[in-house]
Amino acid sequence: MSKFIVQGGKSLQGIYTVSGAKNAGPKLPIAALLSREKCIFHNIPKISDTYKTIETLKSLGAKVVWLDKNSLEIECSKIISSEIPSEAMSARQAVLFMGATLARTGKVSISFPQGDAIGKRPLNRHLEGIQALGGQIVEKNNHLEIKMPIRPNSVTYTFEKNTHCGTENLILVSIFNNGKVILKNAAEEPEVDNLIETLNQMGAKIRRIESRVIEIQGIEPFLHSVEISSIFDRLEAATALVLSIMHGGRIIVENVQPEFLKPFLKILQEIGVEIIFEKNLARIIKINYPLKPAEIMTAPHPGFVTDWQPIMTLLLAYLAKGKSLIHEKVFETRWRYLGELKKMGLQSELFHPESVKPEDYNFNNSEYDATQNYAAYIYGPTNFQAAELNSHDVRAGMNMLLASLVAQGTSIINDPQGHIDRGYENIVDKLKNLGADIERV
């Protein structure tokens, strides 16, 4: 259990260094299962999800060594198991062990994924694709027992809706297919491309033939060695930019890749924030107070990413004058954090948008509820007050930390499942280096 105690109201300044991507760094080492040679991965964040990847790889027979602070060497010359430990499944990327283990051994035993309380992760999109490739799936005692030919079928498969991990899983499982696999309506997030680049450098033949169409030319097992780096975390970069804006722009953000932040930067510009980029640094050069309200609709990449929604909501509540509208179209229950921030003074109004239908959302149609609130009006500006809060997912927990840093007095953030540490490497020290008064107890 983690508990953060924050003495708010301090003036923060300095350089915030963004780490390797949470949604890429812990996944890349899984690709080593497709090789019998040593693989080296750099810029891997030391977060709890990474450690779960390492422990799972070891349980399968891999040899894993930290070469330096953020570099891993992995050798999978001998795989002794195809059973994925149930405790691994609390990490989002653990579901990729399904595809990688099937590609390596032709079978896998895996429990259903866990994760944040922000909505259901639609595993059906993975499983339907695996069946199309020739997989046989049996459910036993909340576990899935799956068998797959080492050389999967040559097929064209179309995802019903966008799925980030589902796309990565089907890429992994189809590397050694017996012809050509084409994935349509596939995800196009930068993290997916980071995995594709890794696999191609290992000898795979994968290419995007259109924006949402991926072709995997089958090759003989196995892949060879690789030395490659994770991209930097675009979600942490956005968080750090919001942190800087909330503190008058006095924080410089390092390791920003603006090409991955275009929808986020567009909104910042529209509401009155000007940013310049110099090499890998981002500087806030102007904040037009008060910020303008905004209308935002989340969507899969290249749209406005759902993980940016909580921090942008916080920024609008804190510094924008008037009513903003946020429409969440990716996760059906992402609004729980508003109830916590209400304790600090945030004013919001949840509602169900008019003239929408299940097909308008990225979660499964069966999860759509005409009585569920999928949008919110956010009112600002807000003078946040210190409070005791409870974190229930990665971005919500970080949101609470950001709010507590500007609230006068002592705030406590209870994070019993360690969600914040799943997404932010060494966050306490990073904030302390900026002048924050924060302690983990």
Average pLDDT over residues 72-89: 95
Q: Of 91 and 84, which is predicted with more confidence?
A: 84
Question: What angle is formed at CA 28 by the lines to CA 26 and CA 32, rounded to 5 degrees?
Answer: 120
Q: Which pLDDT tens digit goes with each residue over 370-392?
A: 999 999 999 999 999 999 999 98
DSSP state of 320: B
Please check the confidence at residue 118 and state whether its pLDDT lies above 60. no
What angle do helix axes 164-173 and 96-105 make, rounded to 10 degrees? Answer: 10
Of all residues in the chain, what percent carry a pLDDT higher than 70?
Answer: 98
User: Rounded to 5 degrees, what are φ and ψ at 174?
Assistant: -105, 5
Identify the pLDDT of residue 92: 78
Checking if the pLDDT of 246 tops 90, the result is: yes
Q: What is the pLDDT of residue 257?
A: 97
- pLDDT tens-digit profile of 180-239? 999 999 999 999 999 999 999 999 999 999 999 999 999 999 999 999 999 999 999 999
What's the confidence (pLDDT) of residue 116? 46
Give the pLDDT of residue 121: 55
Pairing state of beta strands 281-287 and 273-278? antiparallel
Whole-prediction pTM: 0.96
Could you read off the pLDDT of 119-151 as tens digits, one per residue?
Answer: 455 688 899 999 999 999 999 888 899 999 989
pLDDT at 263 over 90: yes
324-352 pLDDT, tens digit each? 999 999 988 889 999 999 999 999 999 99
What is the torsional sign of CA 332, 336, 342, 346?
A: negative
Gap between the Cα atoms of 244 and 21, Å rounded? 20
Calculate ∠ Cα 152-155-157, nearest 5°. 115
Ordered by where they begin, the domains of the chain are: 2-19+232-440 (3.65.10.10), 28-221 (3.65.10.10)
